Amino acid sequence: MEIDLSEARQTFVTESIELLQEMEGALLRLEGSPGDQETINSLFRSAHTIKGSSGVLGIESVERFTHAVENLLCKVRENEIRIDKKIIEVLFECRDHIQVLVDCASSGAGLSQGLLSREAELVKRLGSCIGGRGDAPDKTTEKETSGAEAGEGRLAATNAWHISIRFNGDLFRNGMDPASFLNYLAGLGETISITPLFERMPAAPEMDPEECYLGLEVDFRSEFDKKTIEDVFEFAREGSVIHILPPHSRVEAYMDMIRSLPEDFLLLGEILIKGGALTQHELDEALDMQKGEDAGAEQHKRLLGEIMVNEGMIYPEVVDAALERQKLSQASRSKEARTMRIDANKLDSLINLVGELVISGANMGQHARRLKDGWLTESASIMSRLVEEIRDNAMRMRMVPIGETFSRFNRVIRDIGRDSGKDIELKISGGETELDKTVIEKINDPLMHLVRNAADHGIEMPEERASKGKAPKGTVRLNAYHDAGSIVIEVSDDGRGLSRERIFKKACALGLLSPAQTPSDSELFRLIFEPGFSTAEQVTKLSGRGVGMDVVKRNIEALRGAVDVESDGRSGTTVRIRLPLTLAIIDGFMVGVGGSSYVIPLDMVVECVEFSEAERRAANRRRYMNLRGEMLPYIRLRDFFGTQGQEARFENIVVVRCAGQKAGFVVDDLYGEVQTVIKPLGRVYRDVKGIAGATITGNGKVALILDAPALMEGAGGGATASNLN
C-alpha cells in the first residue's frame, strides 16, 4: 500500500524550520556562554530530531548531512570536545546548510553541484573538529562556568550520575530483588554501565544462600533530580550503603566514596573509569593530590567529614542547580503540551463566523428594541456582549508575540558584524507584544531591510565611533509596544544618523526638491522612502542599492500601516513603524453613493465638508477644490463608479489622508463610524480597481470597502476621473 507522505513532508518542513530556528538560538547562546550543558543538549536534540524525521521520510540528503553534524554535537555533549568559536562558526554554517537542504527537499529540487561541494567542505571541517581534538587532554580541565557548582576542587567531566550500592544482607529475607531496583532505575534514564561486585561473598562453606552479598556500581544518565533517584532505593535503604553522586560532582567526592567502601581502592577506581564516571587523568590527579597532603589522622578526620557531607547530601548548590535545570526542561515540556497547531484557515473561518454572530446579534437587538419587550432586549444585550467577548478571544488566538521574529535578527546582526568588522549588539525589548500572525509574517521582510540598514549604514566602524567619543560597540535596538489600538515597532541604532546635506543633495539631483527649498527635517527624511533613493557612498552586498526603503514603505502601507523616520547627526536613527493590530477588523466610516454603501478606513478620514453648490457647478471644469486655501483634488465616486440613478440633492466631501497626501471623495450620504469585518471579494473581483474588500452591514447587506490609496492615485491625475462617462 502506498502511503501518502506529502502531508508528513509538509509537517517535517515546518518542524525543521522551527528546530533550525531553535538551533540558531542555541548557537547564539553558546557564543555567550560556551560551556552551558543545557544549551548543548538542546542543540543536540534539535539536530537529532531533524535527522530522525528526515530518516523516517527517506529524505536522505538531510539525514546524511545532519548525521555528520550530530556526530560532532554528540562529542561536544559528552565533553570530549570543548566548544569554541571555531566550532560554533562551523555549526552556524552547517545549520544554514541544513536549511538549504530542507528547502530543496520541500520543493523537490535536486542538489546542485555547488551544494554538494559545499556539503563536502562542511563535512570535512566537521571531521577536523572531531579528529583534531578528540583526545586532547583539556577535556579533564573542563570547568563549569555556571557558578552553581563552584565547589572547591576539580569537577568530574561526566554528565552521568554515579550510584554505588552495597545491599543490606537481609535484602532477600525482606522479600526484595536487586534486579527490580535496576529495572525501575532504567525507567528514569539511560543506564550506561552496571558493574556487580562480589567481594563480600565468602567461600562456599560459609556462604548463606539467603544472605545478599551483592554490591553494584552504576553509571546512569538521567534528567531527574537526586531525590527521585534516591527514592528508587527507598525500600533497600535500611542497612544498605548507598552513594549517589550527581553529574559533575567534585572528583574528591568520588575519592571519598571509594575510601568509605570496603572494596579495594584500585578496583573501584577502575570501575569508575570503565563506567565513564571518572577519567584516568582525573583519578591520577586526585590520587597525587591526596598523597601530597599530610597523611595520617588529620587527613582521616577531614575525610570523614567529607564523607558525612557526602552522605548527608550537603551539596545544596549542586542539588539546586540540578533541580533548576529540571524545572526548566519540565516547563518547556509542559509548554509544548499546552499549545497545538491549528490550520490557519480553520481559525479564519471561526473568526469569520464569530464576526457574523456579532452582526446577527446586533440585528436581533434592534428587533428586540423595536418590539419594546424588556426581557427580550435584556437577553439580546447579554448575548451580544458574550458574543463580542468570544470575538475578542477568537481574534486573540491569531495574536502571537513578536519576540520570535525579533530574535531572528540576532543572527543577522552577528553576521553583519563579522563581515564588516563592526562590533554590534542587538537589544530587544517588547518582545512579548502581540500582533496578528499575518501581520507578523508580512512585517518580516521590511524589518530585515531596516535592521540591515541600521547595522550596515548606521553603525560606524569601531575606530570612527571611538573618535566621536562613542562606545566602540554599536547598538541596534528593536522595540515594540502597543499604542492606542495600533502597534509600534521601532528599529533604532546609535550610529551616524541621517545626513541632512547628503539627502538634500540627492533629492535635488533626483528632482524631488529644488535647491531653493528648505524642507523640515521630517519632510526631508521622509524622502529616503522614495524609489531609487540611496545616499550610501558605497554599495555593499547588504544595502545601498536604493531599493529597499521604498519597498519597506510599500509593504507597510499594504498592511495599512505607516512608517516614519527620526534622526539627528549624533545619536543615530529611529525608524518607527505603526501597524494596525489586526487585518481582519477595521474601524470604518460608512458613506452612501446612489443607494450603495461604501466603507472608508476610519484612520484615513480627516474630515467631512459639504460639497457646495458653487463647487458642484465648477465640477465640470476642474476636479479640485479650495479647502481653506489649500488645493484639494477630489474624485466624485458617483462618476468614478459609473453609478446610475438620480443624483443626490446634497453631496459631501470626505477628506482622506494617505501617504502624506490629501484627497477628497465626493459622496451622497455620510452614515458614520462602523466596526467592519473585512471579507475578501474573491478572485472574480481581483482586478477591480478602487475596492479593497467587502463587509456585511448590520442589516445583512454587503457594503464595499474603498481602497483609498488606489483611488487617490486616480485623484492625483484628475483627468482620468473626469474622462469617465
Partner 1 sequence: MSVASITESTQYLTFKLDDEVFALDISQVREVLDFTTLTKVPRTPDFMRGVINLRGSVVPVVDMRLKFGMTKTEQTVNTCVIIAEITLDGEKLILGALADSVQEVIELDPDQIEPGPRIGTRLNTDFIKGMGKRDDEFIIILEVNRIFSSEELAAAHAAKDEVA
Site of interaction with partner 1 (CB under 8 A): 352-353, 355-356, 359, 596-597, 640-643, 679-685, 687-691, 694, 696, 700-704, 724
Q: Which is nearer to partner 1, 321 or 593 (CB)?
A: 593
Q: What is the dihedral of CA 509, 515, 520, 526, to 10 degrees?
A: -10
Q: Distance between CA 437 and CA 414 in Å, rounded?
A: 26
Q: Which is nearer to partner 1, 315 or 641 (CB)?
A: 641
Q: What pairing do the DSSP bridges indicate for beta strands 572-580 and 562-568? A: antiparallel
Cβ proximity to partner 1: between 260 and 352 the closer is 352
Spatial separation of the C-alpha atoms in residues 130 and 573, rounded to whole Å: 45
Smallest gap from residue 681 Cβ to partner 1 (A): 6
Closer CB to partner 1, 297 or 684, in the complex: 684
Q: Which is nearer to partner 1, 78 or 707 (CB)?
A: 707
Q: In the complex, what is the shortest distance from the CB of residue 700 to partner 1, in angstroms, rounded to a whole number?
A: 6
The CA distance from 163 to 165, in Å, is 7
C-alpha cell of residue 219: 553509571
To partner 1, the closest distance from the beta carbon of 691 in angstroms equals 6
Closer to partner 1 by CB, 426 or 692: give it.
692
Query: For residue 725, with 0-12 CB atoms within 10 Å meaning exposed, 13-18 middle and 19 or more buried, which class applies?
Result: exposed
Nearer to partner 1, 461 or 696 (CB): 696
Question: Please, which residue, 342 or 724, has the CB nearer to partner 1?
Answer: 724
Least separation in angstroms between CB 9 and partner 1: 20
Burial label for 626, CB within 10 Å (0-12, 13-18, 19+), is exposed
- 651-658 and 691-696 as β-strands: parallel, antiparallel, unpaired? unpaired
Min. distance of Cβ 687 from partner 1 in angstroms?
A: 5
Q: How far is the CB of 361 from partner 1 (least distance, A)?
A: 13
Phi, psi of 431 (to 5 degrees): -65, -20
Q: Which long-range contacts (CB under 8 A, 24 or more apart) does 706-712 make?
A: 706/598, 706/599, 706/600, 706/601, 706/637, 706/665, 708/600, 708/601, 708/604, 708/656, 708/658, 708/665, 709/557, 709/658, 709/659, 711/635, 711/640, 711/663, 711/665, 712/656, 712/658, 712/659, 712/661, 712/663
Closest contact distance (angstroms) between CB of 388 and partner 1 is 16
Please, what is the minimum distance in Å from the beta carbon of residue 518 to partner 1?
A: 41
* Least distance (Å) between residue 677 CB and partner 1: 9
- The answer to whether 49 touches 86, Cβ cutoff 8 Å, is no
Q: Report strand pairing: 399-401 vs 424-429.
A: unpaired
Give 168's DSSP letter: -
**Alpha-carbon gap, residue 16 to 52, rounded angstroms:** 11
Nearer Cβ to partner 1, position 192 or 681?
A: 681
CA-nearest of 422, 441, 451, 660 to 575 is 451
Q: How far is the CB of 685 from partner 1 (least distance, A)?
A: 6
Cβ proximity to partner 1, 334 vs 723, nearer residue:
723
Q: Minimal distance in Å, beta carbon 533 to partner 1?
A: 32
Q: Interhelix angle for 85-107 vs 6-32, to 10°?
A: 160
Nearer residue to partner 1 within complex by CB, 650 or 685: 685
- Burial code (b: 16+ CB inside 10 Å, e: under 16) for 218-238 equals bbbebebbbeebeebbeebee
The upper half-sphere exposure of residue 303, i.e. CA atoms within 13 Å in the direction of its Cβ, equals 17
CA distances in angstroms from 365 to 263, 377, 380, 392, 698, listed in the order given: 87, 6, 5, 19, 11
Q: How many Å apart are CA 65 and CA 63, to the nearest integer?
A: 6
Q: To 5 degrees, how large is the angle CA 256–CA 261–CA 267?
A: 90
Min dist CB 696 to partner 1, Å, is 5
> Which residue number, 357 or 451, has a Cβ lying nearer to partner 1?
357
User: Parallel, antiparallel, or unpaired: how do β-strands 702-706 and 596-601 relate?
Assistant: parallel
Closest contact distance (angstroms) between CB of 697 and partner 1 is: 9
Q: How far is the CB of 636 from partner 1 (least distance, A)?
A: 12
Burial of 210 per CB tally in 10 Å (0-12, 13-18, 19+): exposed
Rounded to whole angstroms, how far apart are CA atoms 709 and 560? 10
Closest to partner 1 by CB, 494 or 651? 651
Please say which residue, 251 or 351, places its beta carbon nearer to partner 1. Answer: 351
676: β partners: 586
